[in-house]
Amino acid sequence: MQTRRDFLQKITGSVIATSLLPRMAQALPLTTRPYEGPVLRVAILGLGSYATRVADAMQSCTKAKLVGAISGTPAKLTAWQAKYNIPAKNCYNYETFDQVKDNPDIDAVYVITPNALHHDQIIRVAKAGKHAISEKPMAVNAKEGQEMVDACKQAGVKLLVGYRMHFEPHTLEIIRQRKANQYGKITFFQGLCGFRIGDPAQWRLNHALAGGGSMMDIGIYAVNGARYMTGEEPSWITAQETKTDPVKFKEGVDETIQFQFGFPSGATASCLSSYNMNFLDRFFLDGTDGYAELWPSTGYGPIKGRTNKGELDQPIVVHQTLQMDEFADILLEGHQPVVPVDGEEAIKDLKIIDAIYLAARTGQKIALNL
Ligand code: NDP
């Protein structure tokens, strides 16, 4: 199984993404008839390893098309023009990309840069009058997230976040079964998210660019998953941080955080976010009448799920292909996804992460009203 954890341990980017292409061939055809509806024309900003994965996956999209690229590295722009057939007139750098506002051939810009850069870049995209797509975490705190939402509202553009699991078939089937009361009253969720991070010099271990440590990068999946798996918002939070390597994980860069949620129904959650433990990629949902498990739960796949009634046999998909086609439906046709992927959804995660950091720092139980 290939996971993003393996992937990040052996950083770096595009070489690895290319090696994953055979797995992407597992993508199911999304339609059997030629598609004749509107197509979302996307420019990607920040041509790193995840951007390359998204660009490769977009080659199989029906409703979304990669048409532009924005980069601080001229050689990457040249390479992307050749590899993805992107016209030079749709390529920009970080100084010039506000000019995208005069480019009628681009509908949306997908920002895939280090976390702390999303805020300013998304606001510039909004001011250029284009729909904005941000990678997760949308921002490094809820205040910055709110500013991004406000800027997009003010500019009259939509803001979406790359929550690819919100479209993943096993995940959606468990949500469907939970809503159909198949597990009875939900009592407990466990989310384990982590991997051992490699290169100590990478931006993920630099607070100024990452905004934190494992919580911002991988713990956010447990935060977000606790919400969509239980169908509730946490009303209190406690958290504990442990650090075994303060040289690699400096001040403001969390190595491992355990955190707990209480929900209004009385259900609880217990989660683990780590940059120093391998094989953490598991969700477990417990109810009075049944249970569900996703393991792996948020890696690139294949995702596997089972319940007290047996294995789930939902289709294996390429997450990024599906996500971009769904984003096209949302942005062009006003489609409402089962689990939201908009800026308001991301602000909830950021408020929770702010509270987790506060709880870990102070040892206090933090009340939340989302
Ligand atoms: P990479 O380091 O591989 O790529 C980031 C790119 O951002 C760089 O290649 C560079 O592109 C650009 N960039 C601009 N300024 C800087 C800077 N100061 N330092 C470093 N890079 C800079 O990171 P990833 O692609 O792994 O992650 C990017 C974002 O995507 C993060 O927010 C991450 O959380 C998210 N992500 C989401 C995943 C998911 O499954 N949804 C999986 C992996 C990442 P250029 O040279 O073109 O300017």
Which residue stretches of the chain have pLDDT < 50? 1-26
Atom of ligand 1 nearest to the CA of 298: 40
pLDDT at position 304 is 98
Atom of ligand 1 nearest to the CA of 94: 48
Distance 180 CA to ligand 1 centre (A): 39
- Angle between helices 220-230 and 169-179 in degrees, nearest 10: 40
Report the CATH number of the 165-316+342-367 domain.
3.30.360.10
Strands (E), the chain: 40-45, 64-70, 91-92, 108-111, 131-134, 159-161, 186-194, 236-242, 256-262, 268-274, 280-287, 291-294, 305-307, 310-311, 366-367
> What are the two backbone dihedrals, phi and then psi, of residue 147, each rounded to the nearest 5 degrees?
-65, -35
221 labelled catalytic: yes
Domain positions in the chain: 2-163, 165-316+342-367
Distances (CA, A) of 250 to 105, 195, 255, 273: 44, 17, 9, 16
The structure tokens listed for 156 are 């009259």
Distance 49 CA to ligand 1 centre (A): 7
Whole-number Å distance between alpha carbons of 154 and 151: 5
From 50, 84, 110, 221, active-site residue: 221
Whole-number Å distance between alpha carbons of 222 and 344: 18
From 136, 158, 348, 351, active-site residue: 136
Distance 271 CA to ligand 1 centre (A): 26
The answer to whether 342 touches 148, Cβ cutoff 8 Å, is: no
The structure tokens listed for 346 are 């991301």
Distance 211 CA to ligand 1 centre (A): 13
Q: What is the pLDDT of residues 201-215, one digit of tens each?
A: 999 999 999 999 999
The answer to whether 216 touches 249, Cβ cutoff 8 Å, is: no
**Residue minimizing CA distance to atom 25 of ligand 1:** 50
Distance 154 CA to ligand 1 centre (A): 27
Nearest to 130, CA basis, from 87, 160, 95, 88: 160
143 labelled catalytic: no
Mutate to test the pocket of ligand 1, among 14, 50, 193 (most ligand atoms within 8 A of CB): 50
Nearest to 230, CA basis, from 183, 274, 192, 273: 183
Classify residue 223 by burial, with Cβ atoms within 10 Å: 0-12, 13-18, 19+: buried
> What are the two backbone dihedrals, phi and then psi, of residue 65, each rounded to the nearest 5 degrees?
-135, 135
pLDDT at position 31 is 53
Mutate to test the pocket of ligand 1, among 53, 56, 135, 171 (most ligand atoms within 8 A of CB): 135
Atom of ligand 1 nearest to the CA of 217: 34
Atom of ligand 1 nearest to the CA of 115: 32
Distance 205 CA to ligand 1 centre (A): 13
Report the CATH number of the 2-163 domain.
3.40.50.720
Whole-number Å distance between alpha carbons of 148 and 119: 6
pLDDT at position 32 is 65
Residues with CB under 6 A from ligand 1: 4, 13, 46-51, 71-73, 76, 112-115, 117, 135-136, 162, 164, 203, 209, 217
The structure tokens listed for 248 are 């690699």
Atom of ligand 1 nearest to the CA of 50: 25
Please indicate, yes or no, whether the overall pTM of this predicted structure exceeds 0.95: no
Mutate to test the pocket of ligand 1, among 83, 112, 224, 324 (most ligand atoms within 8 A of CB): 112
Mutate to test the pocket of ligand 1, among 3, 53, 76, 113 (most ligand atoms within 8 A of CB): 113
Atom of ligand 1 nearest to the CA of 113: 7
